Copies of this chain bind each other. A is one copy, B any other.
Amino acid sequence: MRVALLAHEQFPDRAKTAVGVLRYSDHDIVAVLDRDSTGAAVSDYLPDVQDAPIVSQMEDVPECDALIIGIAPIGGGFDDSWRPDVRAAIERGCDVIAGLHYLLSTDDELRDLAAEHGVSLRDVREPPEDLTVAEGTASDVDAQVVLTVGTDCSTGKMTTSFELRDAARERGLDAAVAPTGQTGIMVAGWGIAIDRTIADFAAGATERLVKEADAEDVIIVEGQGALTHPAYSGVTTAILHGAQPDSLVLCHEAGRETVGSYESFALPDPKTYAELYERVAAPVSPATVDAGVLNTYDLSPDEADSALSEYEAELGVPVTDPVRHNAAAILDSLLE
């Protein structure tokens, strides 16, 4: 799919979705729209992802199939300064894909225009309407199922999922991510935002993702939240049981000792957390924490090495920081 990425005034540092799509998606990115950086190229900012020109408006974008809204303002609103580009994309016959709280499909003007031009407006936060309860049959798939779990939110589960997929593909394996959150869905082009499903159907939605993931060898399920998070543990548990994983990767941020935004709650240490994931998983489908990921973004190289050694000694399984180093280091232990 040939894609244009809308990231006005925010590329690259405040355009996480756009950068995620550039880094991990299979799409052919034909242009990034950012009126503040017109004339530059993606490679001027990000040398290690696919290159594309940065343009100021949809009229300057080469032929393409879809426009992805690659930025998300706080609150998830739709910025009306984007409207001319969205309109132009629709008029050119492009689908428009967004993960905003504001649903494009409820915007009268855009909906009518899309109908007129026969294109889709895809609001990826909206779960499908035909979800049901889990049957407990995700483990029927032939592929190895790996689930990224965390000690907290924002520990690198999404990044780890795609890095593991790419490492597996580099080995010649047929691998796919089953995306459970909006950015993952934008990157992969499919998925379900599990946190927006009806609570009773969250495990069933995860089960569906595992069964629909198109990979013969490895399916990496993107986890959400954390098992003892004060607000999001329900989503985490539904994914753990719905996915019926074979292996777990425990993602942790170096130095984090309390729950993010819930600072009165201490985090259990990672080893305790790993055992708890295994004990809760076991009655539905036995899974073991076979690898760890440590986010060392805030550390110096020496500090990071030392933190990784400590984390590995604590968990007793191979660990890595897939951004600083690479995910291939933990692939073997997950696929054994």
Interface set of A (CB-CB < 8 Å, partner B): 133-136, 194-200, 202-204, 227-242, 262, 264-268, 276, 279-280, 282-284
Contacts and interface: CB of A to CB of B under 8 A. Distances in A.
Given A197-B199, A199-B234, 14 more contacts: A133-B231, A133-B232, A134-B230, A134-B231, A195-B199, A199-B235, A200-B232, A200-B235, A203-B234, A227-B280, A233-B241, A234-B235, A234-B239, A268-B283
14 contacts: A136-B264, A136-B265, A195-B200, A197-B199, A199-B199, A199-B202, A200-B232, A200-B235, A203-B234, A230-B284, A233-B240, A233-B284, A266-B283, A276-B280
A262 B244 CA distance: 14
A240 to B, nearest CB: 8
Nearest to A200: B195
A203 B228 contact: no
Which residue, of A134, A202, A236, A262, has the highest number of chain B Cβ atoms within 10 A?
A: A202
A197 B196 contact: no
Contacts of A235: 199-200, 234
